[in-house]
Structures are given as C-alpha cells and as structure tokens.
Structure 1
Amino acid sequence: MLGCIFLYYLLVLRPILINLRGFMENVTMRPIIKVLEDKCINCHRCIMVCPVKMCNNGSGAIVDHHSDLCIGCGECITVCSHGARIGIDDFDAFMADLKKGVKIVAIVAPAAAASFEGKYLELNGLLKSLGVKAVFDVSFGAELTVKSYLDYMKKKNPLTVISQPCPTLVSFIEMYRPELIPYLAPADSPMMHMMKAIKKYYPQYADCKIAAISPCYSKRREFDACGIGDYNVTFNSLQDWLDRTRDTITHYKAEDYDNPPAERAVLFSSPGGLMRTVQRYDKDINSKTRKIEGSPEVYHYMAYLSEAIRKSNGPVFKLIDCLNCAMGCNGGPGTGNRGKHLDDVEYLIEQRQMETRKKYQPKNIFQKLFARNKLEKLLDKYWEEGLYSRSYTDRSAIFKQMVIDPAPQQIQAVFTRMHKTGDSDILNCGACGYRNCEQMAVAIINGLNKMENCRHYVEIEKSLQNEEAVKKQLNTVYDHTLEEMNKNLGGISALSENIGETANHVLSSSTAIEQMVENTRSIHETLEQNAQTVLQLNESSTEGKNRLHHIAELIADVSAQSDTLIEACSVIGDIAEQTSILGMNAAIEAAHAGEAVGRGFAVVASEIRKLADISNKQAAEIAGSLKNIKILIDNSKESSGHAEQQFDTMVSLINTVKNEELHINNAMEVQSNGGNQVIQSLNEINSLIRKVKEESASLLSSSELIIEDIRGLKAM
C-alpha cells in the first residue's frame, strides 16, 4: 500500500507540486509597501486612490495590504497623512553590504537631477564616498532602449507598442490586463539596458553587485522578473540618511558618470520623454504617439485600449508613452517631489537636457555631417540584438485564484444584506473607497471588506437598531403609559364635565351680570333724573330762602310800624285822658255857669267825656290788639328766623345730596362701564370655555386613539 502511495507521489503529485512551485515563483511578487498597523486609522483613503482596489483588505480594524495583488503605484503612501504606509526598498541592505566591503556599482535614474536640485553629479560623489566602485547614468540606458524600440517596430511593425519603462504599469498589465501583454514593448527598461550593458561591456565590474538609485519602489520587482539587479535604493532613503546624519549633498564632490553621456534621453524621467527622444529619428512621432500618465487616467486608458483592440477598432497610436505617476519618474513615490509644481521639477531636467545635447552638437560642417553617425556608432557599440529582449508573465491567474468574480445573483444577495433594495440605495458615493457599490460588493464577497464600512448600510443598521431600541423602550413604557393614559381619560372626562358645568355657571353669571348692569344703568338714569330734581329743589329752596328772608324783612318793618302804632295808641290814650279831664273841667265849668249856659257846656262836656271814654277805651283795645299783634309779629319774626335757618340747613343738605348723587352717578357710570367690560370678558371666557370644551372632547378622542396606537405598538 505504501509502495503504491509513493509511486503515485513520484509519478503524479511530485510533478504537480514542482510545477505549482515554479508557477508560484513566477506569479508572486515581492512586497514593496508596508502597513504600520499602529498608525492606520482605517480611513479607506488608500482604497480610494488605489487603481486596482482589491490589493487592500478593509475587513478588519485596519486596511491591510496584499502584495501579490499590489502593482506598487505608491498612491496609498502619498495619500496617507498618518504615515501608516511606507515604501520598502533595499537601502539598509545596501549600506550594510558596503560596510562589509561588498563590491557594488550603482546606476542612477535621470530623475536624480530633479530630486537633488540639479546636484546629480554630487550624488555620484556621495555614492563613491560610501564605497561604490562606479556610477552609471541610466539615461544612456534610455538611449539604448529607444534603439531597441525602433529596431522592434521596424522589423515587426506591430499594431501598437506600449512603452514599459514603468514597472508599475507592467505589473498592472501582467496582473489585470494580460490581453495587452502582446503589445508591451519586448525590450528592457532603461535600467535593465544599463545593467545588462554593464554585465556585457564592463567586465571589470562583472563581480560587482548592482544597486539602482531610483525614484520608484516597484523597480525591485522588475529586477526579480529579469533576474538582474541586487538593490533598489530610493532617493527618499538617501535623503533621509543625509538628514539623519545632518549632512547635505552639496558637501560632496561632483563626479562624472563612468559611462558615455546620453543625449536627449535624459528626458526619459519626464512625461513624454520617450516620445521626445524618438523625435530625433522621426519628426512626426508626436502625431503617432499617445502620451498618457497619472492615476487614474492611465488605467482608464488601458481599459479603453483593451476594449478597442478587442473590438478591432483601435489602437489609434503606434506608440503609447505611458507612466504611472502624473509627474513621471520625477514625481515617483520614492522621491520627495510629490506635491511640488510640475514646472519647478521639470525645469531641472530640461536644463540638463540642454547641457547634454550640447555635447553632441557639431562644431563644424564636417562634424555636422557625421554627428548622427557618431551617436549611432556609440549606441551600436553597446547594443546587441537580443541582448535587451524582455518577456512578460501573465499573472492574472493569481488574481483569479484570490479574487472571485461573482455572479450578478451573488452581488444582489450582498446588496440585499446591505439594505440596498432599490436603485435609490445604490449611492456609488465612494465613501468606502471603491468606485461604486458593485465594486464594494465584490470586495465583501472576497472577504476584502465588510458591510460596516458602507455608509448606507451603517445608517440603515443604526436606524434598525434604533427601531429595536425604541420597540424595547415602547414595550417597557407601554404598561405605565397605558395606565397613566387610562387615568388621564378619567381626569379628562371629569374635566370635560366640569368645563361644561363651568360654562353653564359662567353663562348664568353672565346673564345675572347683564341684568345687574341693566339695573345699574336704570339706577344711573334714575339718579340722573333725581340729580335734575335735586337741582330744581336746590334752586326752589334758594328762591324760598330768599323770599322768606324778604318776608322776615317785611315782618321786621311791620314790627317797627307796630311799635309806632303802639306809641300812637299811647298818645291817643293820653289825648283821650286829657279830653276826659277837659270834659270834666267843662262839666265843672258848666255847673259853675248855670243851668242855661252850663247845660250846653254840660252836653258838650258830656259828649267830650263820652268821646274821651270811647277813645280811651278804643285806644286801650287798639293798644292791646297792637300788643298782641306785636307779640305775634315778634313770634313770626323769630319763627321766620328759625325757618330761614332751616332753609339754610335744607339748602346745605340739598347741596350735599347733590354732591353725593354726583359722586354716586360717577361711580355708577364707572360700574356700568366695568360691568360692560365684565360682560365682554365673560363672553370671551364663555367662548374660550366652549373651545376648551371642544378641545377637551378632541383630547378625549385623541387619548382614546393614542391608547389604541399604544396597543398597536405592543402588538408589533
């Protein structure tokens, strides 16, 4: 049995395992980006800028990174403001080996002129001070690259040629657009040309390792793919080392390169540098070239190009001069130039280009005739057919193995779980970092993200959680609320009844007050009439008083005259008494005179005496009557005085009554006005009570509905 198993292993499993191992060695890629977990805040900005998305895993507490799916564009390094992603190069190994005495030569990318402020020759001095044996200019390798491209295009006349100096774009095509591999230039990059030229044409450095001083972290993958190149040292690492040691590039001596100078290929690090170099051979190359750079534009273009080739209606251009970085290699992730102005960076490259082109400018007519021949002969010296050939690996299998291409039903199932049940729920907001909701769903299906990172899902879940919490709270509050509402219903019913009774009382009070106001108004009118009567009485009393006073004056005059009459009566009495005496004297005299004479005197005397007696008697009677009259007049005068005093008192009282009545009249008028206001207020109160009664009835009905709703909530 064991023998059979061993034989099966030798004949079947072992070849499969060997092939699988070889396959994995070809398709897996070296990590060039590291995630610092303690700095990652899971903000998803790295996913947002990543052109391929699925190399990021946002399903955990941080956004992790899978190197086999990463193309090494470095966009996530640039965008991470927390420093959670850093590039990986070979600087530490490079420095350690130099200290150990390992023989190393360096090749320097043309972007050095932009990264070290034009001090690219001083960079050579720095490298040699560290122990580097020789320094070569990759720009010359770019000249060889152009020659390789032109040779291929001339001999093969391909539909189009996609330039491949950028290892990031090569990784993208190998991994995600393998259908474009046949259109990648089958020639090495400028760095590979330079490395192979060193191995071929500089035997004195055959035993040396090669360090590339570059602007790009993904160059290390190119070395792995081509099997040549030992260190990828970025400009950033060198600058950081200078900063740590408090050194500066200006402290080093300018050292020329150890290979022939390039001409205009020093432009290769700038967008369109390839096209401008080819222009030396083909002045119309601009119209045949698509210059495209920067993420995501270059990746969108590649997708378009793939579709155009598939539909046989493209490509339009013979040469595609493409770079991952918007500033070309001058703004690669291994430089400090990202964020600087494009003109400031490219100015340094343009300055160098003018200097290098002068080296090949003819000084006379003879040199002019052979100028191109001179450069071509130099390039021919370092170029050999097949030496710089490059092949590519279809790495899409690993993507297909690691990332499921879900069916529409699977995506819809995820959408359903994410509460995306209608078109309005497909927000495509990009908050998760993906271009659209479908891409997010693909990531979730592949375990590369989670629904909790979807804004829409979180909002709905919070809403549902809130609903559950509300439900629980409602269930908790239900009994208490229902009990209180039932209590309130009784109170509201009683309130409604009380309000009805109050309304009736207010209505009765309003009627009574209206009657009272009416009575007050009647009293007010009566008082006004009484005031007129009192006024007339006052006037009559005053007039009576005046007349009484006049009578008193007349009585006083009569009294005075009575006193005169009494005095006259007294005088008459006296006269009568004297007349009586005179009669007596006459009688005496008559007696004395005789009977004849005396009889006449006696008769006269007798008559005189009678007259005197009568007068005296009448005078006495008149005097008595006058005395009685005088007593009556005096009594009348006294009574008239008392009556006048009584009239004065009556007039005073009438004035007092008049004033009091006026005061009462004013008070009654005020009371009447107040009564009107009270009636108006009572009417308003009555109206409000009616409204309150209506609202109370409505509240009662509403409370009953609320109780029904609460019962309905309980049943949910």
Structure 2
Amino acid sequence: MDLIRVNEAHCRDCYKCLRSCPVKAIRMERAPFSQQLRARVDESRCVLDGRCIAECPQKAKSVRPAYPSVRSLIAVNDDVWVSLAPSFVAAFAHLRPGQVLAGLRKLGFAGIRETAVAAEWVAAAHRKIAEKSQGPVMTSSCPAIVNLIEMYIPEMLPNLAPIVSPMIAHARMLKKEAPCRKVVFIGPCLAKYDEITRPGLTQDVDQVISFVELETWWAEEGIDPSQLEDEYFDGPAPLEAVLFPLDGGLIKTAGLTPDMLSNRTLTVSGLDNCQDFLINLAASEPVPMLVEMMACPGGCINGPLMPADSDDAFARRMRILKYREERPNYRENCPAGENSLADDARAEHADYEFLQRTYENRQIISVEPTEEQIKEVLAMTGKYAPEDELNCGACGYNSCKEKAIAVLQGMADPEMCIPYMRTKAESMSNLVFFGTPNGVLVVGSDERILDMNSSAERIFGTSRNHLVGTLASQWIIDSSDLRRVFEDNEEIVRLEKELPELGLIVLVTVVSAKKENVALVIVEDITSQRQRETELQLVRGVTLERAQEVIDKQMAVAQKIAGLLGETTAETKVILTKLMRVMKEEGNTDGAVSGDWRRPTE
C-alpha cells in the first residue's frame, strides 16, 4: 500500500522503531550514497499498529495523506457522511465535542454520526457468540489484532469472532439508509486505512483519515473550530459505547463486567501483551469466555495517529469518562439519559448479516537458515562462542541469534550490533590515538593531564603514570594558553616551543573538545627537523663563503687580465700611431718627386 512513508533525510539508524515493533517488520537498508542505515517499513510483514510512527524520535515516519481524496469526494458528491470514532473527545483537548462537529460541517460533510452507534451492535454480537462458544472468543474490533492473528498466529483464527469492526458496521448501516451515500471514517488508527481494503470489506467505507490529517485539513482551509459554536450529531447516539476506545470498553458495552479479577472476561491491551497472551493461551487455566484485545496500550485513546498536542493517557481517559456523563447534551432529538439501543434492539441488530465477516490465513512464512549460516553471521560481529552473545537488544532484536537470522533474511545488517560497532570504533580511535607518531595529551579543565598516548611517553621520556595527574604547564603548555582554550574557545595551532631540559624542539597544537570539557594537546617533535635545518644552514653558509672566494678570485684575475690588456693596448696604440705618422710622411715625400717630371703647361 505504501502507507507508511519514511523521510530518509531524518531517519538516522537509531533502531528505535525496530525495538518498538513486536513483529520486527522494519527492514534496515543502506542509503545509496552515504551508506548510512535507514529504516523502511516492510508492509508485507506489518500489522499496522503504527507504533513505529509514534515512537520515531526524529518524526521521520508519516502516513500517506488521504484527506485530499476526501476533499475531492465532497466536491463531486453532496452526500458524504462522517463516521466519527468516539476517541475524538480525547484527541482534541482544546475543543469542546460540539466544536469538533462544527469544524467537520465547515469542511462540507453532509452528515456526522458517531461510530459508537454501531459499537453497540458489535458488542452485543460478541456477547452472543461468546455465550454459545466452547472456547475463548477473541474480539475482532481492532484491525491490528486481526492482522496479527491472520499473519503470525493463524491457529487462533477459529477463536476470532467473525464480526466486523464498529467502523465497518456503521458504514453498512449508513449505506443501508442511502445506498449512494459515501462514508468517511475519522479516527486515531493506522490499521483502519488497510482494513477497508481487505476482502469482503471494500464496499463499506470509502475513505479513512486520521485526527492528525483532520487538523492539517482544518489548517489548510483556515478553519479554527475553537471559534465555532457547538453543533450536534445527526440522529441517535450511543451511551455506553462511547467507552469503546478504552480498554474494557467493549466488554462494558456488551453488558459484561470488565473486572480484572473475573475469569469470564479478560482485557488485554498493547500488541506485545496480546502477542504473548495468544502464544501462551493453550497453557492458560481457566480460559476466559471473552477476551477483548486492543493493539494500543490503554485502548484507542492512545492510538498512533492522535494529535501531538493531545493530553496524556490518563487525561484522555478522564475526558472520555466525563463525556460519557455529559453525552445527552450532544444528542439532538434524544431525551436525556435515553440509550440509543435497548437490550432487545441490540439482540436484533446482532443477528444482522451485515455484522458478519470472514478471515484469511496470511501467515508469514520465512526460510529458516542453517546453524552454520547463523554462526557465519555471528562471526562477522566478533561472536564466536555463546558467551560472546550479549543479547542486549540494542539493535532491536531480542537476541544476537535472532538478529543473525534477520540478516540472512535481508531484514537487518551485521553492523547494527551496537556493542560490536562501539568496539570497532574504539579500536579505530585507539589506532589513531596510540598509533600516531605525535604525542597526544588529554587535559582537563583543571589543567591536569588525564591521559596520554605512547608517543607522548617517548617524547617526554617518562611513563604515563608519571605524567597523568600533573599540571600540563609543568611539561608543555603555559597555563595562560590553556585558559584561552577553555574560556575563550580558541585554538592554538603549531606553537613552536623549546624544551631545553629535554633537549627538544616541538610544535604544540591545542584543540578544545567542549562536549567532554577537555583539551587535546598534540605535540609534534621537530628536533631532528630543526637540527637538519641548522646543518643545512651551515652548509649554505660555507658554500656561500666559498662562492664569494671564487668570485673574488675571478674578479682579481679579471682585473689583472684587464691591466695587461690595457698595457698592451696602450703600447700597440703608440706603435700604430707612430707607424701611421711615418706612413703619412712617406706619402708626402713621394708627391714632391712626382711634380718634377710632369709636363709643364704650354
């Protein structure tokens, strides 16, 4: 049905829904990217008691909304009636019953009647069957109990009264008056959503919504029932049957005593208790005539889909009892104190065919793994012998073996074992804490050392026992620096300190762990690094000196060469100058001789 939806962003493998589920219908799956375990309700195994919705601390589970369909139904049909569960009185603590009815009329419903009208007939039918039966008769008004018996304890089906729930009986009554009428049930029960889809019951109730959905619908429509005048139910209303949502209410309505000391009747509420009772019934003596069973502890007033702001369980019960006393004030055209159904009328309606129903065996059959397979799964979480199995139930299963079977059936994951994961996490933490080459000191708010790793022992050259309990300021970090960390929430990152008494140079980083009220002092020994840096600096100095010497020598050689070149250049210039002068003089002499032999001008 995809009835229960899970907000994966809010679901954080806490396993609370699994711990609260009596039939373990929660499948744990890994998210595709984060690989975080997420819960998904396996509706093929779920009895729809709805406890997982109520118990989820992150409110990650919700019911697929049905009120939009009801709103559409009203838009196209002018004869849509409400069958209102009597627990509505306990659901809306801030409203008078008449204001709830007025709020429903504002939504467009043509008529409103209380489901408890039919509960009178259902109770009478149960009494009649129980009086004729040879064995114990189990009440069938709670659909979650019907699911439990059909799916998990089918051997008890012959003891389950073949009577429809008050919701179905009431819808059949309303449609008997007007065959084309549409009926919407409003109550606190998750299993009702599924009940109207069961074989033989599909033509009765057209839609189911919860009290939570009703509040949402009012808010969307801008309706504030607290500002409305009281209105009334249409037609007759019951008296005793308004107690139906309380444990023992059916037995009381049937005219029997719900006395806990009676061996003729028995009331069992809470799915765990009902399951235990049904499993162990064969060994019970004496056997009660009529057993009223309700999946919700204390009855329907504690249903999973009650509004979050409703009263506590005791206050809800008292509101129902008070409503029982004041009930005539909310009936129109009914004399005060007059019951809707007299004893003879109850007997008459108890024989009506529309109260009858059948059941089907829907037993969940799972393949049981071998002991060897179970041992292999147990070994995955470090359980090699019976004494390794803590059976703590933290994963949601009652025993380590039960969880191993669930793993093999695809319902659970090996890493759901919290003690194992804690041990694994501690091992990883220890690996980091003790395996790191840096010293780590855990310092308390009183500035004293609480713990340290082996690297710190090596760095400080002393044992853990000698340092633990002493002031950190004696060894590594000034008290003023620690106060900055604790009081101002600062971080000190890579503070270089010399420890001459130890011949060490270290880098200190101090990180605050506020939740634990401690500081982590991480000490990195950089003595060798600084020594290498010093040696490298010396090598650099020597190299620079030698380089300077070479440069100086080169400059000297260059200067000498330049001097020699200057001298030879000067001498060459002198010689060449003289040579040029001589050559010039020789040229002039040659010109004079030539003038003598030239022919004279005529």
TM-score class, shorter-chain normalisation, is 0.5 to 0.7
- 1:41-72 Cα offsets, whole Å, 9 max, x none, are 12111111111113433455311221111111
CA distance in 1, matches of 2:153, 2:213: 32
% identical equivalent positions: 24
Partner of 1:169: helix, strand, or coil?
Answer: helix
Determine which structure has the larger helix proportion and give its number.
Answer: 1
Residues 427 and 125 from structure 1, CA distance in 2 versus in 1: closer, same or farther, beyond 3 angstroms? Answer: same
What one-letter code is carried by the residue in structure 2 that aligns with 1:233? I
Matched, 1:64 2:33: no
1:294 corresponds in structure 2 to 270
1:176 aligns with 2:152: yes
Q: Is the 8 A contact 2:83 2:183 kept in 1?
A: yes
Counterpart in 2 of 1:675? none
Contact 1:266 1:353 in 2 (8 A): yes
The reply to whether residue 326 of structure 1 matches residue 302 of structure 2 is no
Question: How do 1:88-103 residues align onto structure 2 when only pairs under 5 Å count?
Answer: 88-101=64-77, 103=79
Deviates more, 1:120-129 or 1:218-227: 120-129
What is the CA distance between 1:337 and its match in structure 2? 6.0
Confirm whether residue 239 of structure 1 aligns to residue 212 of structure 2: no
Give me the TM-score of the superposition, normalised by structure 1: 0.54
For structure 2, the 5+ residue unaligned runs are 438-602
Question: 1:197·1:382 contact (CA, 8 Å) conserved in 2?
Answer: no
Give the match for residue 379 of structure 1. Answer: 346
Which residue number in structure 2 is paired with residue 391 of structure 1? 358
Inter-CA distance 286–250: structure 2 relative to 1 (3 Å threshold): farther
Tell me which residue corresponds to 1:212.
185
Are 1:124 and 2:101 counterparts? yes
Give the structure 2 partner of residue 627 of structure 1.
none
Secondary structure of 2:81's counterpart equals: strand
Q: Is residue 2:376 matched to residue 1:405?
A: no
Note if contact 2:84-2:113 (Cα within 8 Å) is conserved in structure 1.
Answer: yes
Distance 1:467 1:353, change over 3 A: closer
Instruction: Name 2:395's counterpart in structure 1.
Output: 432
Separation of aligned partners in 2, 1:342 and 1:473: 55
> Does the CA-based 8 Å contact 1:88-1:217 persist in structure 2?
no
Shift of 1:347: 1.4
Aligned position for 1:415: 378
Summarize the alignment of residues 274-293 of structure 1 with structure 2, pairs less than 5 Å apart. Answer: 274-279=250-255, 286-293=262-269
Match of 1:252 among 223, 228, 232: 228
Residue 410 (structure 2) pairs with residue 447 (structure 1): yes
**Against the structure 1 CA distance between its residues 457 and 122, is the aligned structure 2 distance closer, same or farther, given a 3 Å change threshold?**
same
Does 2:312 correspond to 1:341? Answer: yes
Aligned 8 A contact 2:90 2:310 in 1:
no
Measured after TM superposition, the shift of residue 244 of structure 1 is 4.5
Distance in 1 of aligned mates of 2:379 and 2:197: 44
Measured in 2, the distance between the counterparts of 1:464 and 1:129 equals 63
Letter in 2 for 1:435: N
Amino acid at match of 1:208: R
Alignment partners' CA distance in 1, 2:392 and 2:291: 33
Q: What is the Cα deviation at residue 458 of structure 1?
A: 2.6
Task: After TM superposition, give the deviation of residue 315 of structure 1 in Å.
Answer: 6.1
CA distance in 1, matches of 2:29, 2:300: 30
- In 2, Cα distance between the equivalents of 1:424 and 1:385? 60
> Shift in Å at residue 379 of structure 1?
3.4
**Can you give the 5+ residue segments of structure 1 that lack an aligned partner in the other structure?**
1-29, 361-366, 475-716
The reply to whether residue 106 of structure 1 matches residue 82 of structure 2 is yes
CA distance 1:372–1:451, change in 2 (3 Å): closer
Alignment partners' CA distance in 2, 1:125 and 1:441: 54
Instruction: For residue 376 of structure 1, report the CA deviation from its aligned partner.
Output: 2.7
**Structure 2 Cα separation of the partners of residues 279 and 302 of structure 1:** 24
1:42 matched to which residue of 2?
A: 13
Query: Is the 8 Å Cα contact of residues 238 and 340 (structure 2) preserved in structure 1?
Result: no
1:91, 1:237 within 8 Å by CA — same for their partners in 2? yes
In structure 2, the residue matched to 1:486 is none
Displaced runs of 4 or more, over 6 A: 281-285, 357-360, 371-374, 463-474
Task: Give me the whole-angstrom Cα distance separating, in 1, the residues matched to 2:104 and 2:227.
Answer: 12
Please list, as runs of the form range in 1=range in 2, the aligned pairs for 1:305-704 lying within 5 A after superposition.
Answer: 305=281, 309=282, 313-314=284-285, 316-336=287-307, 340-356=311-327, 375-379=342-346, 382-396=349-363, 399-400=364-365, 403-459=366-422, 461=424
- CA contact 2:182–2:206 (8 Å) conserved in 1: yes
**What is the letter of the counterpart of residue 429 of structure 1?**
C
For the 8 Å contact 1:57–1:66, the answer to whether it is kept is: no
- Alignment root-mean-square deviation, CA: 3.4
Structure 2 residue corresponding to 1:224, chosen from 180, 187, 197: 197
Letter in 2 for 1:138: T
SS in 2 for 1:292: strand
State how far apart, in whole Å, the 1-side matches of 2:325 and 2:345 are: 20
Task: Give the residue type in structure 1 aligned to 2:137.
Answer: V
Q: Structure 2 counterpart of 1:386, which letter?
A: E
* Alpha-carbon distance in structure 1 between the residues aligned to 2:260 and 2:399: 41
> Is the alpha carbon distance of 1:380 and 1:295 closer, same or farther for their aligned partners in structure 2, counting shifts above 3 Å?
closer
Task: Give, as a single letter, the amino acid of the residue that structure 2 aligns with 1:78.
Answer: A
Q: Give, in whole Å, the separation in 2 of the partners of 1:288 and 1:189.
A: 22
CA distance in 1, matches of 2:227, 2:433: 72
**8 A contact 1:140–1:262 mirrored in 2:** yes
1:162 is displaced (CA, Å) by 1.1
1:663 aligned partner: none
Distance 1:422 1:209 in 2: 61
C-alpha separation in 1, matches of 2:412 and 2:265:
40
Map Cα deviations across residues 378-426 of structure 1 (whole Å, 9 max, x no partner): 4356454432112111111xx21xx332233332232123221122211
After alignment, is 331-340 or 436-445 more displaced? Answer: 331-340
Give the C-alpha shift of residue 189 in structure 1.
0.9
What is the correspondence of 1:699-714 to structure 2 with a 5 Å cutoff?
A: none
Q: Distance in 2 between matches of 1:459 and 1:52?
A: 27
Q: Give the distance between the partners of 1:373 and 1:281, measured in 2 at CA.
A: 20
TM-score of the two chains, using structure 2 as the length reference: 0.64
Q: Which secondary structure state, in structure 1, belongs to the residue aligned with residue 267 of structure 2?
A: strand
- 1:136 corresponds to: 113
Distance 2:66 2:241 in 1: 27
Instruction: Give, in whole Å, the separation in 1 of the partners of 2:426 and 2:226.
Output: 62
| CA offsets 1:582-621 (integer angstroms, 9 cap, x no match) | xxxxxxxxxxxxxxxxxxxxxxxxxxxxxxxxxxxxxxxx
- Name the amino acid aligned to 1:350: L
Instruction: Please identify which structure carries the higher strand content.
Output: 2
2 CA distance for matches of 1:322 and 1:338?
Answer: 26
Structure 1 residues 64 and 315, CA, compared in 2 at 3 Å: closer, same or farther? farther
